[in-house]
Structure 1
Amino acid sequence: MRRSRLGRFGSRLQSRSWPRFVPRFVPRFLRCLWPDTLFGRLVMILAIGMFAGQVLTSTIWFDTHESRTLEVPARLFASRLADTARLIALAPDDAARRALAQQLGDPKYQIAWIAAKAPGVDATSTAGFRREPIVQRVIGDLIRGVLARRLGAPPEIRLLEANVHDDSGKRGGILNLFDSPMPTGDFHVQLKLHGTGWSGWLDVRANEGQADALTEPHSLALDYLVRIYLIRFTAVCVLAFIAVRFAVQPLRQLAKAAEALGRNIHRPPLPVTGPSEVRSAAQSFNAMQQQLADSIAQRTRFLTAVSHDLRSPLTRLRLRAEMLPDPVWRERLRGDLDEMEAMVTSTLDAVQGIEITETRHEIDLDSMLEGLAQDLREAGHAVSIAGRAGRPVPGYPRNLKRCLQNLLDNAVRYGERADVQITDTGRSVRIVISDRGPGIADAALRERVFEPYVRLASKEGTGLGLTISRSIAAAHGGTLTLENRAERGLDAVLSLPRED
Structure 2
Amino acid sequence: MKLRAWPDSLFGRLVMILAVGMFAGQLLTSTIWFETHDNRTLEIPARLFASRLADTVRLLQHAPDATARDAIVTQLSDARYRLQWTDAPQPVQQTSLAKRTVSDLITGVIRRRLGEPIDVRLIDAELRDEEHKHKGILSLFDSRMPTGDFHVQMKLPDGRWLDAQANEGQAGMLSEPGSLVFDYLVRIYLLRFVAICVLAFVAVRFAVQPLRDLARAADALGRNIYRPPLPVSGPLEVRSAAMSFNSMQRQLTESFAGRARFLTAVSHDLRSPLTRLRLRVEMLPDPQWRDRLRGDLDDMEAMVRATLDAVQGIEVTEARHEIDLDSMLEGLAEDAREAGHAVTVEGRAARPVAGYPRNLKRCLQNLLDNAIRYGGEASIHVVDDGRAVRVAIRDNGPGIPDETMLARAFEPYFRGNAGRADGTGASGGTGLGLTIAQSIAATHGGTLTLRNRTAGGLEAELVLPRDV
Please give the TM-score of this superposition, normalised by the length of structure 1.
Answer: 0.88
Contact 1:74 1:142 in 2 (8 A): yes
The one-letter code of the counterpart of 1:156 is: D
Q: Aligned partners of 2:182 and 2:403: how far apart in 1?
A: 66
Tell me how many residue pairs correspond in the alignment. Answer: 459
Deviations 1:164-201 (A, max 9, x none): 1222111252323322221111111223333xxx5533
Question: 1:324, CA displacement in angstroms?
Answer: 2.1
Match of 1:158 among 121, 140, 153: 121
Q: Aligned partners of 2:160 and 2:202: how far apart in 1?
A: 66
Q: Aligned partners of 1:107 and 1:466: how far apart in 2?
A: 102
Question: 1:486, CA displacement in angstroms?
Answer: 0.6
Q: Aligned partners of 1:271 and 1:32: how far apart in 2?
A: 34
Q: Aligned partners of 1:171 and 1:130: how far apart in 2?
A: 19
Residue matched to 2:30: 58
- Gap runs ≥5 in structure 2: 422-427
Residue matched to 1:143: 106
Match of 1:83 among 55, 63, 66: 55
The one-letter code of the counterpart of 1:355 is: E
Question: 1:483, CA displacement in angstroms?
Answer: 1.1
Q: Does 1:364 align with 2:324?
A: yes
| Partner SS state of residue 202, structure 1 | strand
435-444 vs 387-396, greater mean Cα deviation? 435-444
Q: Aligned partners of 1:223 and 1:125: how far apart in 2?
A: 39
Q: Aligned partners of 2:402 and 2:136: how far apart in 1?
A: 79
Q: Does 1:473 align with 2:434?
A: no
199-208 vs 70-79, greater mean Cα deviation? 199-208
Question: 1:400, CA displacement in angstroms?
Answer: 0.4
Q: Aligned partners of 1:59 and 1:182: how far apart in 2?
A: 22
Aligned pairs for 1:477-492 (under 5 A) are 477-492=445-460
Contact 2:392 2:460 in 1 (8 A): yes
Residue matched to 1:105: 77
The one-letter code of the counterpart of 1:360 is: R
The one-letter code of the counterpart of 1:79 is: S
Residue matched to 1:320: 280
Question: 1:108, CA displacement in angstroms?
Answer: 1.3
Deviations 1:279-335 (A, max 9, x none): 111111001000000000000001001101111111121122222222211111111
Contact 2:394 2:458 in 1 (8 A): yes
Deviations 1:453-472 (A, max 9, x none): 00123221100000000000
Residue matched to 2:148: 185
Contact 1:427 1:499 in 2 (8 A): yes
Q: Aligned partners of 1:204 and 1:471: how far apart in 2?
A: 93
Q: Aligned partners of 2:171 and 2:89: how far apart in 1?
A: 32
Contact 2:87 2:161 in 1 (8 A): no
Q: Aligned partners of 2:328 and 2:4: how far apart in 1?
A: 51
Aligned pairs for 1:59-458 (under 5 A) are 59-112=31-84, 114=85, 121-126=86-91, 131-194=94-157, 198-458=158-418
Contact 2:87 2:160 in 1 (8 A): no
Contact 2:322 2:352 in 1 (8 A): yes
Contact 1:162 1:187 in 2 (8 A): yes
The one-letter code of the counterpart of 1:125 is: Q
The one-letter code of the counterpart of 2:25 is: G
213-222 vs 346-355, greater mean Cα deviation? 213-222
Residue matched to 1:497: 465
Q: Aligned partners of 1:248 and 1:282: how far apart in 2?
A: 13
| Partner SS state of residue 250, structure 1 | helix
The one-letter code of the counterpart of 1:58 is: S
| 1:253–1:454 CA distance, 2 compared to 1 (3 A) | same
CA root-mean-square deviation: 1.7
Contact 1:428 1:495 in 2 (8 A): yes
| 1:212–1:444 CA distance, 2 compared to 1 (3 A) | farther
Contact 2:221 2:227 in 1 (8 A): yes
Q: Aligned partners of 2:143 and 2:345: how far apart in 1?
A: 83
Q: Aligned partners of 2:161 and 2:411: how far apart in 1?
A: 104
Contact 1:436 1:488 in 2 (8 A): yes
The one-letter code of the counterpart of 2:113 is: R
Q: Aligned partners of 2:396 and 2:135: how far apart in 1?
A: 91
Contact 2:387 2:465 in 1 (8 A): yes
Q: Aligned partners of 1:80 and 1:451: how far apart in 2?
A: 100
Q: Aligned partners of 1:424 and 1:235: how far apart in 2?
A: 44
The one-letter code of the counterpart of 1:464 is: L
- Gap runs ≥5 in structure 1: 1-18, 20-30, 115-120
Please give the TM-score of this superposition, normalised by the length of structure 2.
Answer: 0.94
The one-letter code of the counterpart of 1:366 is: D
Question: 1:426, CA displacement in angstroms?
Answer: 1.2
Contact 1:64 1:134 in 2 (8 A): no
Q: Aligned partners of 1:200 and 1:287: how far apart in 2?
A: 87
| 1:463–1:218 CA distance, 2 compared to 1 (3 A) | same
| Partner SS state of residue 59, structure 1 | helix
Q: Aligned partners of 1:366 and 1:133: how far apart in 2?
A: 81
Q: Aligned partners of 1:190 and 1:318: how far apart in 2?
A: 123
Q: Aligned partners of 2:227 and 2:54: how far apart in 1?
A: 86
| Partner SS state of residue 357, structure 1 | coil
Contact 1:156 1:192 in 2 (8 A): yes
Question: 1:32, CA displacement in angstroms?
Answer: 4.9
Q: Aligned partners of 2:124 and 2:210: how far apart in 1?
A: 60
The one-letter code of the counterpart of 1:77 is: F
The one-letter code of the counterpart of 1:64 is: T
Q: Aligned partners of 1:234 and 1:355: how far apart in 2?
A: 50
| Partner SS state of residue 262, structure 1 | helix
The one-letter code of the counterpart of 1:148 is: R
Question: 1:240, CA displacement in angstroms?
Answer: 1.7
| Partner SS state of residue 33, structure 1 | coil
| Partner SS state of residue 271, structure 2 | helix
282-291 vs 157-166, greater mean Cα deviation? 157-166
The one-letter code of the counterpart of 1:61 is: W
